[in-house]
Amino acid sequence: MKIIYIANIRLPTEKAHGIQIMKMCEAFALAGTDLELVIPTRTNSDFSEVDPFVYYGVKRIFKITPLKTFDPTFLQAFPAGSYGKGQIFFFTIALFRYLKSIQTEDVLFYTRDEHLLPVLFKFSKRIIWEGHALSERPKKFIKYFKACQKIVVLTKSLKKILVNLGIQEKNILVAPDAVDLGTFDFDLTIPEARIRLNLPQGKIILGYTGTFRTKNISKGLETVLEALQMTADPKIIFVAVGGAAADIKHYQNLARNMNVEKRVMLLPKVDQPKVAICQKAFDVLLMPFPKNEHYAYFMSPLKMFEYMASGRPIVTADLPSIREILGEESAVFAEAENSKSFADGIKKILSDSDLADKISLNARQKVQEFTWQKRARNILNFSV
C-alpha cells in the first residue's frame, strides 16, 4: 500500500507534533506500507542543517519529499495575522502541482491538516484525516470530513463532537497517542540518572518535561510554583526541562517573585533519550495542564505516555482527556489550576511509598499497549 502523509510543518521542529508525525511515518513503514512524507520548505534557522531522521531517532525507511514553497511567515511586510493563511495558500499551490505530476490513483492520503482536504479531494477519495482539534469554523469542513474514507481522533470527546456534527460514528477511530518504549522504558535508578545529568542527590525532585507554553497558552507551571510555595521543605525542588528561552526567563522571574527561585531549575529542550533520563531522575512527574477546551477534551499528550513508561509516580490535572488513559490505579489526580490540590497530591505520594510504587508499576504496565507500532496497525486495520 502506498501512503502519502502530508504535513504542513517545519521539519525538524521543536514542537511535539514533529515527534508524533515522524514516529507515525516510521510505524506505518514498519507495518509494510510504502510511506512518503510530503512537507513544505519552511524557514527554520535553528534546524537548517539537521537531518530529521537523526533528530527524531527514526529509521530511514520512508521518503521525505520537501516541496519548494514560498514562506511569508518571516517577512515583516505581511500583517501578523496573515502569516499562517499566506503560508497555507502557497503550500496548497505547491502540493497541487506536485500531486498533479505523480500517479495518485492507488494512493491513500493521510493528513492532520483539515485545510488541505479540499485540494486532496481533487485527486482522490481515499483520504484519512487525523483530528487533533477543531478549527474555529468546523462547519466549513464538515462536507470534507463526511467524504473522508476514515477519520482518526485522539480522544472520545472529539469523536462525540464530530458525531454530533453529522459524521458517521462507524467511520471514526479513537487512537490516542503513544510512546517509543525503546527510548523510555528501561531500568535506571534515580541516583544513577542524576549522576548522568549532574542533578543534586539528596533532594526530592518534582519533574516536568516538555514545552512550558504552547501558542502562548500556559501548560500550568504557575500552578506548580504555587504548590512548591506550599511545600516548605527545602529538600523539595522543581526541575522543568524543555522550555524556550523566553519561557524560561518568564518563569524564572515568576519564581523569583514567589521567593522559590532557589528551589527551581528551568532547563532548555533536550533530545528524546535525554528526556527519558530526566524522567528517571525525578521522584514525581507532574502534568499541571490548565482546564480549557483543548487540554480537557482534545489533547493526548506525548508526555503522559512517556511518563507512564518511566516507572515514576504521576500527579496530573484531573481532565477528561487524561481520564481516558489514566485512572486512580495509575496516577494521583489533582484539580486543574488548584495549587493546593497539587500540593496535596504531591504530599500524598511522598508520604506513601507503597502508593507511589503501585501507581508507577500500573502505569508502566498499561503503557505497553500504547506504542507507535500498535497505533499504526490499528489505524491501517480500521482504514482498509
> 353-378 pLDDT, tens per residue?
999 999 999 999 999 999 999 999 99
Indicate the SS3 state at residue 67.
strand
Q: Name the domain boundary from 174, 206, 229.
A: 174
Q: Is the peptide bond before 288 cis (omega within 30 degrees of 0)?
A: no
How much is the pLDDT for 384?
79
pLDDT in tens, 187-202: 999 999 999 999 999 9
User: How would residue 84 be classed by pLDDT, with cut points 50, 70 and 90?
Assistant: low
- Is 379 domain-assigned? no
User: How would residue 73 be classed by pLDDT, with cut points 50, 70 and 90?
Assistant: low
d(CA 23, CA 370): 13
How much is the pLDDT for 47?
63
Stretch 90-109: mean pLDDT, rounded? 94
Same domain for 206 and 149: no
Q: Name the domain boundary from 121, 150, 174.
A: 174
d(CA 306, CA 242): 14
- Is 380 domain-assigned? no
Host domain of residue 186: 181-369
- Is 382 domain-assigned? no
Same domain for 134 and 41: yes
How much is the pLDDT for 148?
97
How far apart are the two ends of the chain, measured CA to CA in Å? Answer: 10
d(CA 268, CA 165): 41
**Beta strands at 314-317 and 150-153: parallel, antiparallel or unpaired:** unpaired
**Beta strands at 2-6 and 264-268: parallel, antiparallel or unpaired:** unpaired
pLDDT in tens, 255-303: 999 999 999 999 999 999 999 999 999 999 999 999 999 999 999 999 9
Per the structure, how many domains does the chain have?
2
How much is the pLDDT for 44?
61
Given a contact cutoff of 8 angstroms between Cβ atoms, the answer to whether 36 and 3 are in contact is yes
Same domain for 266 and 168: no
Look up the pTM and report it. Answer: 0.94
User: How would residue 43 be classed by pLDDT, with cut points 50, 70 and 90?
Assistant: low
d(CA 133, CA 265): 32
Question: Which residues have a Cβ under 8 Å from the Cβ of 78 and sit 6 or more positions away?
Answer: 72, 86
pLDDT in tens, 221-243: 999 999 999 998 999 999 999 99
How much is the pLDDT for 46?
64
Q: Name the domain boundary from 174, 189, 215.
A: 174
The CATH number for 300's domain is 3.40.50.2000
Same domain for 271 and 246: yes
d(CA 135, CA 41): 24
- Is 189 domain-assigned? yes
Same domain for 210 and 132: no
What is the Cα gyration radius of the chain? Answer: 21
What ranges in 185-301 are assigned the alpha helix state H?
190-197, 221-230, 245-257, 272-281, 293
The C-alpha cell of 1 is what? 500500500
Whether residue 82 is predicted with pLDDT greater than 50 in this model: the reply is no
Whether residue 306 is predicted with pLDDT greater than 50 in this model: the reply is yes
How much is the pLDDT for 246?
94
Q: What is the mean pLDDT of the chain?
A: 93
Three-class SS string for 296-356? HHHCCCHHHHHHHHHCCCEEEECCHHHHCCCCCCCCEEECCCCHHHHHHHHHHHHCCHHHH
Stretch 101-113: mean pLDDT, rounded? 95
d(CA 104, CA 62): 17
